[in-house]
Amino acid sequence: MNEVLHNTMNEQPEHQLDNASNSAAEHSLLQGEGARCYRCTPEEFLENVIAGLPTKLLVLDQDLRVVHCNPAYYVPRGLTREEVEGKLVDEVFPQSLLEEGGLREALQTTLRTGERVRWSGYRHPSRDHGERIVNIRIDPCKGYNGEPNVLLTIEDVTERHRQLYERTILQQITRAMLGQLELPRLLHAILTGVTAGGAVGLGFNRAIMMLADEEEGVLRAEMAVGPECAEEASQIWSQLGDQHHTLDEFLSAYDKLPPPEERPLRKLVERLVVPLSQTDVLPMSAIARGETIHVEDAANDPQVPAHLYELLGAEEFVVAPMVAKDKIIGVVIADNFVTRRPITASDIQMLTALANQAALSIDSARMYQKATRQAEELAQAYEELQKAHRERIRSEKLAAVGQVTTIVAHEIRNPLATIGGFARAIARDAEPNSRIKRNAQIIVEEVKRLESILSDLLDFTKPQPSQLVPTDPRVLIVDVINLLSSEIEAAGIETRLEFDSEPLIVPLDERLFPRVLINIVKNAIEAMPNGGTLTIGLHRTPQGIQISIADTGPGIPEDELDDIFDAFHTTKATGTGLGLALSKEIVSEHGAELSVSSTVGSGTTFYITFPQPADEADNPADAGEATHS
Amino acid sequence: MATVLVVDDDRHLQMLYEQELQRAGYDVLLASNGAAALETVANQNVDVVVLDIAMPGMDGVEVLTKLLDMNRQLPVILNTAYASFQDDFMTWAAEAYVVKSSDLTELLKAIEKALRKRGTPAPNPRNDQDKE
A384 and A503 both lie in a single domain: no
Does the beta-carbon distance from B19 to A425 stay under 8 Å? yes
Angle at A183 between CA A177 and CA A187, to 5 degrees: 60
A378 and A478 both lie in a single domain: no
pLDDT winner (highest mean) among A35-44, A232-241, A588-597: A588-597
Contacts with A, B 28-47, CB within 8 Å: none
Does the beta-carbon distance from A424 to B100 stay under 8 Å? no
- Last residue in a domain, options A330, A352, A368: A368
Residue A596's pLDDT is 92
A393 and A355 both lie in a single domain: no
A47 and A145 both lie in a single domain: yes
Rg (Cα) of chain B, in Å, rounded?
14
Range of the domain at A141: 2-158
Lowest-confidence segment of A19-28, A471-480, A594-603, B26-35 by average pLDDT: A19-28
pLDDT winner (highest mean) among A260-269, A394-403, A479-488: A479-488
A318 and A176 both lie in a single domain: yes
A298 and A194 both lie in a single domain: yes
* Total count of domains within chain A: 4
Residue A423's pLDDT is 94
Contacts with A, B 69-88, CB within 8 Å: 80-84, 87
Integer distance in angstroms from the first to the last C-alpha of chain A? 126
pLDDT tens column, A193-217 = 787 665 445 778 888 999 998 888 9
Min distance A577 CA to chain B CA atoms (Å): 21
Report yes or no: A281 at the B interface, CB cutoff 8 Å: no
A227 and A348 both lie in a single domain: yes
pLDDT winner (highest mean) among A125-134, A401-410, A428-437, A610-619: A428-437
Lowest-confidence segment of A407-421, A510-524, B77-91 by average pLDDT: B77-91
- Last residue in a domain, options A349, A368, A387: A368
- For residue A279, is pLDDT > 60? yes
Chain B residue closest in CA terms to A459: B83
Rg (Cα) of chain A, in Å, rounded?
48
Q: Which of A613, A579, A612 is nearest to A596 (CA)?
A: A579
CATH of the domain at A63: 3.30.450.20
Confidence of residue A145 (pLDDT cuts 50, 70, 90): confident
Mean pLDDT in residue range A29-55: 71
Q: Mean pLDDT across chain A, nearest whole number?
A: 79
CATH of the domain at A289: 3.30.450.40
Report yes or no: B13 at the A interface, CB cutoff 8 Å: yes
Q: Which residues of B touch A409 (CB under 8 A)?
A: 81-82
Q: How far is CA A283 from the centre of its chain?
A: 30
In terms of DSSP H, where are the helices of A196-305?
230-240, 247-252, 266-271, 284-289
Lowest-confidence segment of A154-163, A246-255, A490-499 by average pLDDT: A246-255
A384 and A457 both lie in a single domain: yes
Report yes or no: A425 at the B interface, CB cutoff 8 Å: yes
Residue A228's pLDDT is 67
Instruction: Please state the pTM of the whole predicted model.
Output: 0.41
Does the beta-carbon distance from A414 to B10 stay under 8 Å? yes
A537 and A557 both lie in a single domain: yes
Interface test with A, best of B98, B102, B108 (most A CBs within 10 A): B102
Mutual angle of helices A158-178 and A183-195, in 10-degree steps: 170
Q: What domains can be seen in chain B, in order of their start residue?
A: 3-101 (3.40.50.2300)
pLDDT tens column, A506-533 = 988 877 788 789 889 988 998 899 999 9
Helix or strand run (H / E) with residue A397: helix A345-429
A360 and A425 both lie in a single domain: no
- Last residue in a domain, options A132, A158, A184: A158
A 10 A CB-CB count for A203 gives 19
> Residues 6 or more apart from A511 whose CB is under 8 A from it?
A464, A467
Give the whole-number percent of chain A exceeding pLDDT 90: 21
A438 and A378 both lie in a single domain: yes
CA distances (Å), A442 to each of A412, A447, A455, B50, in order? 19, 9, 20, 28
Confidence of residue B7 (pLDDT cuts 50, 70, 90): very high
Chain A residue closest in CA terms to B85: A462
Does the beta-carbon distance from B103 to A420 stay under 8 Å? yes
What does the alpha-carbon distance between residue A26 and residue B3 come to, in Å, rounded to a whole number? 154
Report yes or no: A9 at the B interface, CB cutoff 8 Å: no
A304 and A178 both lie in a single domain: yes
A 10 A CB-CB count for A532 gives 20
